[in-house]
Amino acid sequence: MARERLYLFDTTLRDGAQTNGVDFTLADKLAIAGMLDELGIDYVEGGYPGANPTDTDFFSASRGLRGKFTAFGMTRRPGRSASNDPGLAALLEAKADAICFVAKAWDYHVRVALETTEEENLASIRDSVKVAKARGREVLLDCEHFFDGYKANSKYALACAKAAYDEGARWVVLCDTNGGTLPHEVEEIVGAVCKVIPGDHVGIHAHNDTEQAVANSFAAVRAGARQIQGTLNGLGERCGNANLVSIIPTLKLKAEFSDAFEIGVSDAQLKKLALVSHALDERLNRGSNRHAPYVGESAFATKAGIHASAIAKDPATYEHVAPETVGNKRKVLVSEQAGKSNILAELERIGIKADKDDPRIGRLLEIVKERETAGYAYEAADASFEMLARRTLGTVPNYFDVTQFDVNVEQRNNAKGERVTVTMAVVKVKVGNDNMISAAEGNGPVNALDRALRKDLGQYQKYIDGLKLTDYRVRILNSGTEAVTRVLIESEDENGDRWTTIGVSPNIIDASFQALMDSIIYKLVKSGAPA
């Protein structure tokens, strides 16, 4: 049976840009649009040309996307003609394939916010669709507050949607602007709309204020809608928009949807999903949600011993989909509850052959337990576990030795008489027969130490050039004088591979140093650097 086409519309660069603390530069917008396009998204909404210089610049040139590059803006202002509205003119000037207009669909908003008549609002919708179509653009209409408007005055809300459709808009998008509508209400209302406007012209734009934006999007599809709007990682103001990173794999991997619908994202593109999700967080300079469905680091992680041994026999026993399909990895956590079967399963996963009767396996288990009591958390630091396992099994080359390091933090007045804090690190490294000294300044002791350590590793430098530290987390364990510091460092390399390392010590610099060293050595092992 032929599957129906379902379209994906991304608004990360427009609605997602409303997120508290998010401010995209032009370079960010170009990079994110590129990622969305590579993922196979049908519509990439770029912003609001004319509203701010970044968006105007972004739309000053054609961006050469495979998907439809879409500009967003308001319908003509009430009381003006379409040819005498500067906002509309800027929108029509934008180098875009499609224009998404936003219009009020709630009579109360038309009266109170827009201060105009219901009829003038309908005329504004019709005129705007008409003029954009005449300029050769595909047209979408976002019906703002559609669900609340429908509950208050279904006739008027429908009239707004119908006006755009009758004038030739390709899509009429029903927006749950306040995000408070529940899935059964969405299903019922979208069903009613689809009796008046064919479902393959109806879209859903859900906000996450009851944490059901994803569920609301699927409810709309069940009721007939054929376009879903959302953002990467659910970015958006307040509680965010519908999360396309959760929606896409559900559409691709759950039979209810994959049997019925085809989307623009191929199986190969789906494998890039985790990478795209993490790359967005990195651009925003924030840690990724470890517990994000499908793409989070913990999405396929299992802790208890009996689960781990079952997973080793057949992964499907505890997984709803295969992690590789979305570019994620299975992870069996090594924890205090770990038994030998856990350790063996994890070793097998990271490609270390070991015999269950090997006495070194028992020793590794002892060390893990001892260290976890001291504050290490290997379940959160896969790369440090791997280094520990390889060392215990005797297979990590001694690439270099750090013979000495020194970190100096100084606070003083600079030449301008301003109070400044300056941090400097000096590291002595022995690589083979060469002794090297590197010094670097940093914005803090750990940063300075990292920069000095990675400044010159002689013959190994080329293997770590692509290494980046993407996250650094510090936690103080215990209390009072017994306090120890736990440092987790997340790293990424030129292939987009990510790993986490750990250090624990009463001294934060020492803990950070352990985690840094593990990360560098992990990278050298991974790159096959010669001993």
Binding site for Zn ion (CB under 5 A): 15
Min CB(240)–Zn ion separation in Å? 10
Cα of 334 vs its chain's centroid, Å: 26
Min CB(215)–Zn ion separation in Å? 17
Backbone phi, psi, residue 305, to 5°:
-60, -45
488 forms bridges with which residues in the sheet? 473, 502
Strands, E assignment, 34-191: 43-47, 68-74, 98-104, 138-144, 171-176
Closest listed residue to residue 225, CA positions, set 258, 254, 202: 202
Reported residue count of the chain is 531
Residue (164 or 299) nearer to Zn ion, CB: 164
Residue (235 or 248) nearer to Zn ion, CB: 235
Backbone phi, psi, residue 175, to 5°:
-105, 130
Output the six-digit token pair for 466: 């692509």
CA distances from 505 to 486, 511, 520 (A): 7, 5, 19
**Residue 13 to residue 51: CA distance in whole angstroms:** 13
Residue (103 or 515) nearer to Zn ion, CB: 103
Residue (238 or 360) nearer to Zn ion, CB: 238
Min CB(237)–Zn ion separation in Å? 8
Nearest 5°: the CA angle 224, 229, 233 is 130
**Residue 456 to residue 174: CA distance in whole angstroms:** 57
Residue (72 or 499) nearer to Zn ion, CB: 72
Phi-psi region of 52 (alpha: psi -120 to 50; beta: other; left: phi over 0): beta
**Residue 158 to residue 197: CA distance in whole angstroms:** 9
Residue (213 or 429) nearer to Zn ion, CB: 213
Closest listed residue to residue 387, CA positions, set 373, 371, 374: 371
Min CB(14)–Zn ion separation in Å? 8
Cα of 157 vs its chain's centroid, Å: 34
Strands, E assignment, 266-305: 301-302
**Residue 127 to residue 113: CA distance in whole angstroms:** 20
Residue (179 or 305) nearer to Zn ion, CB: 179
Give me the long-range contacts of 147-151 (CB less than 8 A, separation at least 24).
147/174, 147/175, 147/176, 147/181, 147/185, 147/186, 147/189, 148/106, 148/177, 148/178, 148/180, 148/181, 149/104, 149/105, 149/106, 149/107, 149/108, 149/109, 150/105, 150/189, 150/192, 151/185, 151/189
Residue facing Zn ion at closest CB distance: 15
Ranges of H-type helices in 455-527 = 461-464, 508-526
Min CB(12)–Zn ion separation in Å? 12
Residue (15 or 148) nearer to Zn ion, CB: 15
CA distances from 61 to 139, 266, 351, 516 (A): 19, 28, 48, 43
Residue (228 or 344) nearer to Zn ion, CB: 228
Residue (15 or 493) nearer to Zn ion, CB: 15
Residue (176 or 382) nearer to Zn ion, CB: 176
Min CB(241)–Zn ion separation in Å? 6
Output the six-digit token pair for 516: 């840094």
